[in-house]
A and B are shown apart, each in its own frame.
Chain A
Amino acid sequence: MNRHSRALLTILIVAAILIPYWLLNRDRTPPPSALLPAAAPVPTRGGSAVASTRTDPRSFNRLVHGQIATEIVSMLTLGKLVRIDRVTQQLEPWLAERWEASPDNQIFTLRLRDGLRWSDGVPFTSADVLFTLDAVYDPRTQSSLASALKPGGQPLARSAPDARTVVVTFPGVFAPGIRILDNLPIFPKHKLEAALAAGEFAKAWTADTPPSELVSMGPFMLTQYAPAQRMVFDRNPHYWRRDEREVQLPYLDRLTIELVPDQEAEVVRLQSGRTDFMQHGLRPSDLATLRPLELQGRLQIEELGVSPNADSFVFNLRPERWAKDPRGAWFNRKEFRQALSHAIDREAFSDAVFLGTAVPIHGPITPGNKDWFWASVPRYEFSREKARALLAGLGLANRDQDEWLEDERGNEARFTALVFRGNAVLERSAAVIRDDLRQLGVAVDIVPLEPNSILQRIVGGDFDAAFVQFFASDTDPANSKDFWLSSGGVHLWNIGQKAPATDWERQIDELMIRQSATIDMDERRRLFNEVQRIFAENLPILYFAAPRVYIAASARLINLYPALTPPEIIWSADTLAIRDGGTSR
């Protein structure tokens, strides 16, 4: 190679290094108009926004499917009679403008707004409400909402004296009252009556249904769905809601939801300004990536507070599981679980798993649930000495001078914990717990599995322990009776018992039934604190940390009303607006 060739090659190599460096680091400070102004701008109609989510909807039929993408479609395109404001947790009028309760709090008369219309112009009436409840309770529908809409295990009685009035009768006193109707999106009778009559409601409005066949009562209409690519929602011209200036909502002309299965790619899109926000909150690791963009004025990042949901380390307490397993002699004892709780340094756990963006917790009700959080819930402070003493009391000791404890019959203190595969936070949490318990001499074998596999194993009782995520639909515990009652379908440690297997579960059952039938709020709190005390003593589930919730959105988006629970921004999509009237994307 001669001198010229060498020089050329050197120039090429240097260019190959410098050009990508320049491309990736060049100043991309936005024009001044994109920077956040000091005063809150007035939202106006117009413009479009782009969001992202990770999965396709399995169906557009929210009565049948409860998956998040289906829930998003439902939030954007359907309406409820009443809505729980996810920020204040207060019940607010929605399609029903007002309601009255009978003195015994069992009969509610709801008055629908005047002039409500579906997106195809057909009037919305009380017949649609009765139709939807009929569909939910029809066993052929196999509705995922049916259980939540049966307080006391009984369906709501319902009638419609006229086209604008719905009367709902509860089978007994139910403290949350019509808060449970926040679960119920109303479906159009004129479109789906035939499907319900034919017993085919479960097959109606599948993801294969052309968007032109769907009608909307929400702020938007689904106008395009390209599987695995995007959903496009356009303004519903008949949407009923107006702002305080009498401007009809939604402000946005169009909301596009891109389907981006990879979370890293989602963050990159947000970084580059290709999307305005993500359907879910930020991971701790995303904060460091996105903070510089906030400083440049291209993104707005907001901390919303402590999440009301926390990851759950569930123990399998089914007696039949341990009947023939010698480990049951100690695994099934509350002292074993108390020892494990003592052995976890929750502060260090928060730092390691959530990079410091979480608060230690000691029960299922986190500080994010302001109405029901009990600061005096019994705690198990970090103490390996106390943990060892409790384990010694169960006969667990290191008998063969290896790393692990053994019981008197020589069985190692070892169990398996299932964890959602691909969920980085849960996998990291499980690793921290495994390491902490290893120092105690308790072996935890972590088994990552697909969520569906874990759900099926939990329902079938085929597990030792599992680290899972699940979200309560409401912060009011009376609406989470499936979790608290021993007969409940989400009573994760021993699902669907015919009679309570333990005395403490029987006590919780009694307290929860009394609590949900009591109207006096102070008394309800007292009863529920007692439930939390019993739960903390027996620890069927361990809780370690509740993450702080952060959301990020592009600076062009204004009038956000984000909530602590997902989908944090989309839940109030009708108020979203684009700065300065909106340039379309």
Chain B
Amino acid sequence: MTLGRFLLRRALFALLLTFVASSAALLLTLLSPGDFAADGTFGDPELMAARRTQLGLDRPVAAQYADWVSRAVRLDFGQSLLYSRPVAGLLGERALNTAVLAAAALGVATVLGIPLGIYTGTRQRGAGVRVVRTLSVVMLSMPPLIASLVMVLFAARTGWFPVGGMMSAGASEMSWAGWMADVAHHIPLPALALALPLAATLERLQGQAMSDAIRQPFVRAAEARGLSSDQAMLRHGWRVSLGAVLGLYGLMIGSLFSGSFIVEVVTAWPGLGRLMYDALRARDLYLVAGCAAAGAFCLAVGTFLADVLLAVADPRAHMEARS
């Protein structure tokens, strides 16, 4: 398969995934009981009915869906009922905030998870290995809600970090450098709440893959050619072991974009996950569909990036793809 065809296939896959996910989200929101017109308070039923008519929510589900599809193919995702703003603009703002958080979390998870995985994968025994593995199990079994609350509590008790939010009240009046420093001060705790379970996943996966890789004949052969054990492990064993780990990155990117809503809610991070949460609670169907589309698109892009990285790290995978 040529690179062009590979890219085309991936692009089509991304479009299909985005369309299916957003359609499913829209239809499920339409079919589930309750709609936006209730406004979260008891009120005049006639007023509610008038609002429903004005917003077009009293039309048949098929008509509403067809209307949405006809606009979505022109990249018009409609107007958010909740915020009275175009969905695309809202998604852009919030996706950027989530991207900042996701990149930080991914970086922390990689910096912690991969080296620890190499460490536990190449040393089968020892107190250090046991400590790392125990911590990994604890992190993996800790729900994001608890992890976030622990981080918020830590910030509150120590005063070392802001308790939540993305920037301070006066940040918009700061210089660019001041603004960056302010965001950087806010980011560690939500990023850690997201990163620690991912780091634990990476450690477990990298450790297992590394443990398998160092037993491969080509690693032994490299040692026989005169490379030290560490050199053979890092130059040959690690690259091969990355295959399993990189495969996970695509899913991690997607989950960071679409599944971080608990962390965003608890730490008051104004990201895509929180937007989705607010949209679902208010039954803002166009915003729900838009958020689902953004999450699915990020998942597709993440998977694609992971494939590219995998091809770079392990030429055998590249060859398989070409054949």
What interface size band does chain A fall in?
35 or more
Chain B residues within an 8 Å CB radius of A529: none
Chain A residues within an 8 Å CB radius of B37: 456
Interface string of A54-95 (1 = CB under 8 A from B): 011011000001110000000000000000000000000000
Q: A23-B158, A262-B266, A274-B163 are in contact. Are A456 and B152 (CB under 8 A)?
A: no
Interface string of B26-65 (1 = CB under 8 A from A): 0000001111111111111111101100100000000000
Q: Which 9 A-B pairs have the closest CB atoms?
A: A453-B34, A272-B156, A228-B270, A206-B84, A452-B34, A455-B38, A489-B44, A453-B33, A452-B38
User: 6 A–B contact pairs at CB < 8 A?
Assistant: A66-B41, A147-B43, A256-B169, A269-B152, A274-B156, A452-B40
Q: A268-B152, A452-B283 are in contact. Are A258 and B165 (CB under 8 A)?
A: yes
Question: CA–CA, A506 to B31, complex, Å?
Answer: 37
Question: CA–CA, A453 to B283, complex, Å?
Answer: 9
**For residue B162, which residue of chain A has the nearest CB?**
A274
Main secondary structure of the interface of A (DSSP, over half): mixed
A454 in the interface (beta carbon within 8 A): yes
Q: Which residues of A contact B (CB under 8 A)?
A: 1, 5-6, 9, 13, 20, 23-24, 28, 55-56, 58-59, 65-67, 139, 142, 144, 146-147, 203, 206-208, 224, 226-230, 232, 256, 258-262, 264-265, 268-269, 271-272, 274, 449-459, 470, 482, 489-490, 492, 495-496
B39–A227 touching, CB < 8 Å: no
B88 in the interface (beta carbon within 8 A): no
Question: CA–CA, A496 to B48, complex, Å?
Answer: 13
Q: A260-B268, A453-B34, A456-B33 are in contact. Are A65 and B45 (CB under 8 A)?
A: no
Q: A260-B268, A452-B282, A457-B33 are in contact. Are A142 and B47 (CB under 8 A)?
A: yes
Q: A9-B128, A65-B39, A144-B43 are in contact. Are A450 and B172 (CB under 8 A)?
A: no
Chain A residues within an 8 Å CB radius of B157: 23-24, 28, 272
Chain A residues within an 8 Å CB radius of B149: 264-265, 268
Q: A203-B84, A226-B270, A258-B165 are in contact. Are A452 and B35 (CB under 8 A)?
A: yes
User: What's the least CB distance linking A446 to chain B, in Å?
Assistant: 16
Question: CA–CA, A228 to B131, complex, Å?
Answer: 39
Contacting B169 at CB < 8 Å: which of A232, A264, A450, A490? A232
Q: A24-B153, A58-B83, A274-B156 are in contact. Are A261 and B35 (CB under 8 A)?
A: no
Question: CA–CA, A139 to B46, complex, Å?
Answer: 11
B120 in the interface (beta carbon within 8 A): no
**For residue B82, which residue of chain A has the nearest CB?**
A58
A224–B265 touching, CB < 8 Å: no
B289 in the interface (beta carbon within 8 A): no
A449–B39 touching, CB < 8 Å: no
B217 in the interface (beta carbon within 8 A): no
Question: CA–CA, A273 to B172, complex, Å?
Answer: 23
Chain A residues within an 8 Å CB radius of B274: 228, 261
A265–B268 touching, CB < 8 Å: yes
B164–A455 touching, CB < 8 Å: no
B275 in the interface (beta carbon within 8 A): yes
Chain B residues within an 8 Å CB radius of A59: 84
A451–B40 touching, CB < 8 Å: yes
A489–B43 touching, CB < 8 Å: yes
User: What's the least CB distance linking B212 to chain A, in Å?
Assistant: 24
B164–A147 touching, CB < 8 Å: no
Q: A9-B127, A258-B165 are in contact. Are A489 and B46 (CB under 8 A)?
A: yes
Contacting A142 at CB < 8 Å: which of B50, B85, B156, B265? B50
Q: A230-B165, A455-B34, A489-B45 are in contact. Are A142 and B40 (CB under 8 A)?
A: no
Chain B residues within an 8 Å CB radius of A271: 156
Question: CA–CA, A264 to B163, complex, Å?
Answer: 12
B127–A470 touching, CB < 8 Å: no
Contacting A66 at CB < 8 Å: which of B39, B51, B165? B39
User: What's the least CB distance linking B43 to chain A, in Å?
Assistant: 6
Which of A260, A271, A454 counts the most chain B CB atoms within 10 A?
A260
Chain B residues within an 8 Å CB radius of A459: 38, 45, 48
Chain A residues within an 8 Å CB radius of B156: 268-269, 271-272, 274
A261–B268 touching, CB < 8 Å: yes
Question: CA–CA, A67 to B281, complex, Å?
Answer: 13
B84–A450 touching, CB < 8 Å: no
Question: CA–CA, A146 to B83, complex, Å?
Answer: 23
What interface size band does chain B fall in?
35 or more
Chain A residues within an 8 Å CB radius of B226: none
Question: CA–CA, A41 to B154, complex, Å?
Answer: 34
Chain B residues within an 8 Å CB radius of A470: 41-42
Chain B residues within an 8 Å CB radius of A67: 39-41
Chain A residues within an 8 Å CB radius of B44: 144, 146-147, 482, 489
Chain A residues within an 8 Å CB radius of B267: 265
Within residues 146 to 171 of chain B, which ones have a CB less than 8 A from any CB in chain A? 148-149, 152-159, 162-167, 169
B277 in the interface (beta carbon within 8 A): yes
Question: CA–CA, A139 to B166, complex, Å?
Answer: 41
B278 in the interface (beta carbon within 8 A): yes
Question: CA–CA, A492 to B275, complex, Å?
Answer: 31
User: What's the least CB distance linking A92 to chain B, in Å?
Assistant: 26
B40–A227 touching, CB < 8 Å: no
B45–A227 touching, CB < 8 Å: no
B34–A449 touching, CB < 8 Å: yes
Q: A226-B270, A228-B268 are in contact. Are A261 and B277 (CB under 8 A)?
A: yes
Q: A23-B154, A256-B169 are in contact. Are A456 and B84 (CB under 8 A)?
A: no
Question: CA–CA, A144 to B83, complex, Å?
Answer: 17
A142–B43 touching, CB < 8 Å: no
Chain B residues within an 8 Å CB radius of A274: 156, 162-163
B165–A261 touching, CB < 8 Å: no
Chain B residues within an 8 Å CB radius of A139: 50
B126 in the interface (beta carbon within 8 A): yes
**For residue A453, which residue of chain B has the nearest CB?**
B34
Contacting A13 at CB < 8 Å: which of B33, B46, B131? B131
User: What's the least CB distance linking B307 to chain A, in Å?
Assistant: 34
Chain A residues within an 8 Å CB radius of B32: 453
User: What's the least CB distance linking A54 to chain B, in Å?
Assistant: 10
B54–A490 touching, CB < 8 Å: no
Known A-B contacts: A203-B84, A258-B268. Give 10 more (CB < 8 A): A24-B157, A142-B47, A146-B47, A256-B169, A259-B268, A450-B34, A452-B40, A453-B32, A456-B33, A482-B44
A1–B126 touching, CB < 8 Å: yes
Contacting A496 at CB < 8 Å: which of B45, B84, B268, B281? B45
A207–B83 touching, CB < 8 Å: yes
Contacting A262 at CB < 8 Å: which of B82, B166, B265? B265
Chain B residues within an 8 Å CB radius of A272: 155-157, 159, 163
Question: CA–CA, A28 to B47, complex, Å?
Answer: 53
Chain A residues within an 8 Å CB radius of B126: 1
**For residue B33, which residue of chain A has the nearest CB?**
A453
B275–A228 touching, CB < 8 Å: yes
Question: CA–CA, A28 to B158, complex, Å?
Answer: 10
**For residue A66, which residue of chain B has the nearest CB?**
B41
Which of B128, B131, B165, B166 counts the most chain A CB atoms within 10 A?
B165
B42–A229 touching, CB < 8 Å: no
Question: CA–CA, A262 to B281, complex, Å?
Answer: 14
Q: A228-B275, A272-B157 are in contact. Are A449 and B82 (CB under 8 A)?
A: no
Question: CA–CA, A453 to B90, complex, Å?
Answer: 25
**For residue B167, which residue of chain A has the nearest CB?**
A229
User: What's the least CB distance linking A271 to chain B, in Å?
Assistant: 6
Which of A58, A142, A207, A454 counts the most chain B CB atoms within 10 A?
A58
Contacting A268 at CB < 8 Å: which of B34, B35, B127, B163? B163
Chain B residues within an 8 Å CB radius of A450: 34, 280-281, 283
B51–A142 touching, CB < 8 Å: yes
**For residue A56, which residue of chain B has the nearest CB?**
B278
B172–A265 touching, CB < 8 Å: no
Which of A207, A268, A470, A492 counts the most chain B CB atoms within 10 A?
A268
Question: CA–CA, A59 to B39, complex, Å?
Answer: 11
Within residues 69 to 90 of chain B, which ones have a CB less than 8 A from any CB in chain A? 82-85
Chain B residues within an 8 Å CB radius of A490: 42-43
Question: CA–CA, A449 to B281, complex, Å?
Answer: 10
